[in-house]
Amino acid sequence: MSLRKYKNIHPVIGSNTFVDDSAVVIGNVEIGADTSVWPMAVIRGDVNAIRIGARSNIQDGTVVHVTHSHPDTPEGFAVHIGDEVTVGHQVTVHGCTIEDRCLVGIGSTILDGAKLKKHTLLGAGSLVPPGKILEGGYLWLGSPVKRIRALTEKEIAWFGYSANHYVKLKNDYL
C-alpha cells in the first residue's frame, strides 16, 4: 500500500484495515477499523482532513479530496465518511459528509459542503451539488440529484449487508 506523509502528517490506518497496493493514501487521513480501500483509489488529505469510519469501503478508482481554507470558507471543507458506508467505483467525494450506512452509486460526484444523511442511497452517476443535504431513508438520483422515493426495509437492510460483504472480502485479501 502507498501511505504517504504530507508536511510530516502521516495517515492513520485502523486495525484489520485493507488498503490495496495500488491505492494511495496521503496526509491527514484517518481510516477506521475493518475498512477497505480498493485498487486505484486516491485519498488525498493534503489541505484538509479526511476521516473514514469503521467497516466502510472505498472502491476502485474513487477519489476522495478536500478543500483548503480560504477567505470565502475559512475552515475549507474536510471529508467525513461514517461507519458502514459503501462508496462505489469511480466516485468523486470532495469536501463533503457521508453519514453512517449510506451507499454511493458508481460514478457519482459529491461536492463541497454536501451532506448525505444516514441511510441515503445515492444512485449511480448522480451529482450532488455543493451544500445540498440529502435526507436519509430515500433513493436520490440524477444530475443534479433529486429525491426519487422512500427506501424499502429490504433496501435499508442492504447497507449492513454491503458492509459485512466488504469486511469478509477484505479479510480474504488480508
In the block, residue with C-alpha cell 455543493: 130
Global pTM reads 0.97
Amino acid 47: pLDDT? 97
Separation between Cα atoms, residue 108 and residue 130, nearest integer Å: 14
119-155-145 Cα angle (round to 5): 55
The CATH code that applies to domain 2-173 is 2.160.10.10
The secondary structure element, H or E, covering residue 136 is none
Q: Which amino acid is at 160?
A: G
How far is residue 25's CA from residue 44's CA, in Å, rounded to a whole number?
A: 6
Predicted confidence at residue 116, as pLDDT, reads: 99
- Element (H or E) spanning 110, and its range? strand 109-110
Helical segments of 83-147, H only = none
- Give the Cβ contact number of residue 80 at 10 Å: 16
Residues of the chain with pLDDT under 50: none
Q: Residue 1: what pLDDT?
A: 59
pLDDT at site 36: 98
In whole angstroms, give the CA distance from residue 83 to residue 35. Answer: 9
